[in-house]
């Protein structure tokens, strides 16, 4: 069959075709995976912001937590899902550091996802118990220098922005602390 004949047959069938209309989005609930612990900063932000987004978009967002491996377990689940706009990843900075720090990822952050928007930011802070003797950052650093590797500092986990921030802070301050993921 020649190209001209194929074209002619397609043109003859055109009046028989039913029009195809794009399906309105969203036509069903949108699943949002938060790859961090329930009650944490990312989860709290998602659960605060998504209801308002839902009102504006006439959509229902369902938040699910899939924790572990610095967000890469939830990331892998979203990467395996259909690319139909009904499964979204509510990620933090994991997509930046996991590629460099974690081996054996089953997906590539650079190619598996398309960023939609930055929704919020989270500051990194140093806080101490009320009875800790330091009352400012200079006193904290001085206390850490006197007692190397005895002060515990917690973060969201290994390979997170908090961990990297802590490592940089400790290096620049010239202190050694115990990281508690």
Give dist(CA 93, CA 122) in Å, integer.
10
Q: Residue 94: its pLDDT value, please?
A: 73
Q: Where in 22-163 does DSSP place strands (E)?
A: 30-34, 61-65, 87-89, 152-154
Asked whether 156 and 40 are in contact (CB, 8 A), the reply is yes
Q: Residue 22: its pLDDT value, please?
A: 65
Give dist(CA 132, CA 104) in Å, integer.
41
What are the tokens at 27? 């036509």
What are the tokens at 77? 């689940």
Tell me phi and psi for residue 61, to 5 degrees. Answer: -105, 130
Q: Residue 19: its pLDDT value, please?
A: 55
Q: What is the full per-residue pLDDT of the chain (181 aa) written as tens digits? A: 444 333 333 334 444 445 555 678 899 999 999 998 899 889 999 999 999 999 999 999 999 999 988 889 999 999 999 999 999 999 887 777 788 878 888 998 889 998 898 998 888 889 999 999 999 999 999 999 999 999 999 987 877 778 889 999 999 999 999 999 8
Query: Would you kindly state where each structural domain of the chain is located, as residue ranges?
Result: 30-112, 137-180
Asked whether 25 and 32 are in contact (CB, 8 A), the reply is no
Asked whether 42 and 90 are in contact (CB, 8 A), the reply is yes
Q: Is the peptide bond before 26 cis (omega within 30 degrees of 0)?
A: yes
CATH 3.30.870.10 for domain 30-112, yes or no, is no
Give dist(CA 119, CA 103) in Å, integer.
28
> pTM value?
0.70
């Amino acid at each position: 069959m020649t190209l001209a004949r194929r074209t002619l047959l397609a043109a003859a069938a055109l009046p028989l075709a039913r029009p195809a209309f794009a399906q309105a989005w969203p036509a069903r609930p949108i699943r949002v995976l938060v790859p961090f612990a329930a009650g944490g900063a990312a989860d709290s932000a998602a659960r605060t912001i998504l209801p308002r987004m839902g009102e504006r978009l006439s959509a229902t967002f369902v938040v699910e937590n899939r924790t572990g491996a610095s967000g890469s377990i939830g990331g892998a689940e979203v990467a395996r899902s259909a690319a139909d706009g009904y499964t979204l990843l509510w990620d933090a900075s994991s997509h930046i550091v996991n590629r460099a720090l974690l081996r054996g990822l089953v997906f590539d952050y650079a190619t598996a996802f398309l960023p939609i928007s930055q929704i919020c930011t989270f500051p990194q802070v140093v806080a101490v118990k009320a009875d800790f003797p330091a009352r400012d950052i200079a006193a904290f650093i001085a206390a850490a220098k006197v007692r190397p590797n005895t002060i515990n500092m917690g973060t969201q986990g290994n390979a997170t922005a908090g961990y990297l921030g802590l490592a940089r802070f400790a290096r620049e301050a010239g202190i050694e602390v115990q990281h508690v993921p």
